[in-house]
A and B are shown apart, each in its own frame.
Chain A
């Protein structure tokens, strides 16, 4: 619809169809174009492997966080088992991608399918009950999972871990060594594009999910499950559905994580990883896709940055038995815990909420309130 002078303002919502718009306003379109430009150009400007790898991990984390936000932010169910599904995805990639030597789309899909199946098997235990049983059941899942990872050696390589030699080939180009128009790009540059394109795809899928009927049903279940059932939402079914999707997305993140890192061990899929994801979606903003990515950028990059700059932080041990009263691991843990508590108490809508407030301020400027 072409807007003429004197027509309705671009920010005005006049019905469901306006409310459901994906990129409603011109500002959103410009923002999107800017983000695309950054995505394409950034690896050609930043060549430093450390920063590129941080951004790649951030992207992978953002994918996982979108999955968790669908479950926790939109459906109101807490899962502490996100790390379990991430681990499962990584191991599936090690076997399907590494041992069977199948291409990227196949192992990525295989991981998603396995994640979905695992979620579908576990969800019904916890989700057919009202209340927050899922948090406790998935807590158990972390420990049961760790036992499986350590003992099911054919799949996981046991305590010593397993290498993940999945081919990162998408038909036209090998991500590990990309050649475009005669120019060769490094592994990190290729991975940056791959991961952030996938972030875009997953974000778009998630956005489409939450702005249509299933998404509204999820939010109804979150806000008041009984009322949701009264208006015809099958609460149990939607909760399990959200868990299945969130698990599948987590497994995909795990697949990428494993394939990028090329090696995974059972020590990585612990409770702290799940807590990191919870911190990410709380800091970013519960119930926003954009917030998941924002949270991943701010919180997901923290461990790597703290590790790198630990010598400049007062009181932090730089190595085992070093000076300082707090280890890098413990500092990460404390920061995640503090972020969760502080954001929930002071800014429950997270960074996305702050952003929306800033936007609202300028939208009505100079008549802001």
Chain B
């Protein structure tokens, strides 16, 4: 039982990371209709910027996190402004491929600045643990879960109570009607990219503070967040959070019981679990747990 709960805890921590990234996917998808493959690159960029702020510039870790998120947000908004705005009106698959291209530009850019070797981010959490009952809870994991919860609450409050949030919801619902009300679609697009990039950066830096350290392959975590987005439904923020947690749990539990249950399927089955869950979901409930069911008449 303890082992099970321990795995569940690891799953929640991992799932929080997925939830943050998936939330970023949903924000961009809802407002611009683009599936953003570059999220992983922004995640890695945020994590490495956090590393530079925390280690090289010796800024307090909490401030470093904020700075990393803000810088990533600026990069995200700048990318929207410089590249994607030219693509307005182009078919969606062209825009998606642009984001794929950006991912493949960001990754080598990061390795050429920071190199390939594993880096340890200076952070106050380190490998401290808290014992609760028979469980050993990592301080970093607790912070990841706590920060994610705070950010998700802030996220929903932003969309519920601020005028910019309302403008973004209106644009997502009907861009033309929103324009007619005097809402600046440009600002909405730029802000959604900034929010998504900041969420990715937060996910990246909390991940980099963990036992795995920081290496270029960190961007792959964002690819595994796609299944979370599909599971939740492409256009549902709440679904993305739930999907992230479920995928995280499924992956951690598979890893925990790899030797007992999954040894027949080869090593490290947990790595592909998110994608297998995604395929099952697409089979039985293609619009996800909370997504809008696609209704159309011919």
Query: Which A residues lie at the B interface, using CB under 8 A?
Result: 72, 76-78, 80, 125-126, 128-133, 135-137, 139-141, 143-144, 147, 150-152, 222, 226, 229-230, 272, 275, 278-279, 282, 325-327, 330-331, 333-334, 336-341, 344-345, 348
Contact = CB atoms under 8 A, between A and B. Distances in A.
B90 A337 contact: no
Contacts of A128: 286
B236 to A, nearest CB: 15
Contacts of A338: 101, 105
Range of interface residues on B (Cβ < 8 Å)? 35 or more
Nearest to A342: B101
A159 to B, nearest CB: 10
Nearest to A348: B94
A229 B97 contact: no
Interface of B: 35, 37, 83, 86-87, 90-94, 96-98, 100-109, 111-113, 116, 223, 226-227, 229-230, 234, 265-269, 271-272, 274-276, 278-279, 282-283, 286, 294, 296, 298
Contacts of A275: 100, 104
Q: Chain B contact residues: over half helix, strand or loop, or mixed?
A: helix
Nearest to B267: A151
A278 B97 contact: yes
A91 B267 CA distance: 20
B298 A230 contact: yes
Nearest to B281: A125
A337 B102 contact: yes
Contacts of A331: 108
Q: Which residue, A139, A272, A337, A340, has most C-beta atoms of chain B within 10 A? A: A337
A128 B279 CA distance: 13
Contacts of B268: 147
Given A128-B286, A130-B296, A140-B278, A337 B105 contact: yes
A152 B230 CA distance: 28
- Top 7 closest A-B pairs, CB basis? A151-B266, A337-B104, A340-B101, A140-B275, A330-B108, A337-B105, A334-B108
Nearest to A340: B101
A327 B83 contact: no
Contact of A333 (B91, B108, B229, B275): B108
A65 B36 CA distance: 24
A334 B94 contact: no
Nearest to A150: B266
Nearest to A336: B104
A336 B108 CA distance: 11
B104 A340 contact: yes
B133 to A, nearest CB: 35
Contacts of A144: 272, 275-276
5 contacts: A125-B283, A130-B296, A136-B226, A136-B230, A222-B91
A76 B91 contact: yes
Nearest to A152: B266
A174 B166 CA distance: 70
Contact of A140 (B94, B112, B279): B279
B86 A345 contact: yes
